[in-house]
Amino acid sequence: MTLDLNDPELEFSDLVYAYQSWVMAVINDEKLEGDDMLLTDEIAEDALNAMRFLPGEVTSAIETSLARVYDVDADELAELLFPED
């Protein structure tokens, strides 16, 4: 699913899903050592577009929730998601 930001049918939940998919792909690829790599350029691009429209509280809640679910330290997850910060 590529986000079409001009689509009048685009909903808030689509933005949340795009961001959540990216966080889960990063966790999978970096922490779970799965055989299948999930992160693609499309997932990363959709997440970056979604971040432009999602409030910081929402992205933070997604990150915190997924860090708990996958037993990843929140600070470590932040470093994986935003290594240049």
Per-residue pLDDT tens over the stretch 14-67: 999 999 999 999 999 988 876 789 999 999 999 999 999 999 999 999 999 999
Cβ-based neighbour number of residue 30 at 10 Å = 15
Is residue 44, in this structure, part of any structural domain at all? Answer: yes
In a domain, 79, yes or no: yes
Q: Is 2 inside any structural domain?
A: no
pLDDT at residue 85, rounded to an integer: 60
**In a domain? residue 22:** no
Total domain count for the chain?
1
Is 67 a domain residue? yes
Tokens of 52: 């432009």
Give the domain extent around 81: 36-85
Within-domain flag for 27: no
What's the rounded mean pLDDT across residues 1-25? 90
Does residue 66 lie within any of the structural domains?
Answer: yes
C-beta of residue 16 within 8 angstroms of C-beta of residue 58: yes
At residue 13 the predicted structure's pLDDT band, cuts being 50, 70 and 90, is very high
* Structural domain includes residue 19: no
d(CA 3, CA 1): 6
